[in-house]
């Protein structure tokens, strides 16, 4: 639980949220079921999915850098 309050833990959580929501957006049945709402918690997932699909290169590079940092840097 202490990792949630650190900056690198918050970045890992944000990257995982964006990557997961972008992946769920590619699945047609889950897209209509989960990401159709644009308000509330599902709205946050919808916005994260949009960020993940529009900035897919930057998100993937960030994921690789964060994985390298977590595995080697820590």
Cα–Cα distance, 28 to 1 (Å, whole number): 34
pTM here is 0.79
> For residue 29, what pLDDT is reported?
79
> For residue 59, what pLDDT is reported?
93
Domain count, the chain: 1
Q: How many CB atoms lie within 10 A of CB 62?
A: 16
Average pLDDT per run of 10 along the chain, which is 74 residues long? 73 91 84 73 85 92 92 84
Cα–Cα distance, 35 to 18 (Å, whole number): 13
Give residues with Cβ within 8 angstroms of 65, minimum separation 6. none
> For residue 6, what pLDDT is reported?
82
């Amino acid at each position: 639980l202490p990792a949630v309050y650190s900056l690198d833990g918050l970045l890992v959580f944000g990257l995982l949220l964006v990557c997961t929501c972008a992946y769920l957006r590619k699945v047609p049945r889950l897209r209509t079921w989960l990401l159709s709402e644009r308000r509330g918690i599902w709205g946050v997932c919808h916005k994260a999915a949009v960020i993940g699909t529009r900035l897919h290169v930057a998100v993937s590079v960030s994921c690789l850098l964060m994985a390298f940092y977590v595995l080697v840097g820590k």
